[in-house]
């Protein structure tokens, strides 16, 4: 028996483990895809008042009341990166309080009749950053 034949079971095991690892990566990546939920081709700006700040994983949500084009009050749900990521940037469960004025920019929800927004930028109404 040659050395190559002896190493074949080891090589086969390595290839199978590699393939298994790659198939497990697809569902994990798909979980974080935003394109099915938010229109990546459009960006909207929402200027309004904080109603509620929900600081939890997997995605914190800032509810912002703003006027729509018809002048009616609607509540936008602005979705963020995971709370663990925001915490590293200095955000806490106290970053927003009801009544705070903010300007949120992001990609709108694809679901008709909803007011969801994937966060891209967020400032205080005076233009100052949220966390210094």
Q: pLDDT tens digit string along 56-66? A: 998 999 999 99
Whether 132 shows a pLDDT value over 60: the answer reads no
Class of domain 44-124: mainly beta
Q: pTM of the full predicted structure?
A: 0.71
Q: Residue 17's pLDDT is what?
A: 44
Domain borders along the chain are: 1-31, 44-124
Q: Residue 3's pLDDT is what?
A: 56
Task: Give the whole-number percent of the chain exceeding pLDDT 90.
Answer: 52
What would the two tokens of residue 32 be? 């974080």
Whether 12 shows a pLDDT value over 80: the answer reads no
């Amino acid at each position: 028996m040659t050395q190559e034949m002896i190493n074949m079971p080891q090589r086969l095991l390595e290839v199978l483990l590699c393939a298994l690892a790659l198939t497990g990566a697809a569902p994990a990546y798909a979980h974080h895809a935003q394109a099915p939920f938010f229109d990546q081709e459009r960006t909207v700006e929402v200027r309004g008042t904080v109603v509620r700040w929900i600081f939890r994983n997997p995605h914190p949500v800032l509810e912002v009341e703003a006027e729509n084009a018809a002048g009616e009050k609607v509540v936008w749900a602005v979705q963020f990166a995971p709370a663990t990521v925001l915490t590293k940037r200095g955000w806490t469960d106290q970053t927003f309080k009801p009544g705070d004025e903010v300007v949120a920019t992001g990609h709108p929800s694809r679901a008709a009749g909803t007011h969801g927004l994937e966060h891209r930028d967020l400032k205080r109404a005076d233009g100052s950053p949220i966390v210094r």
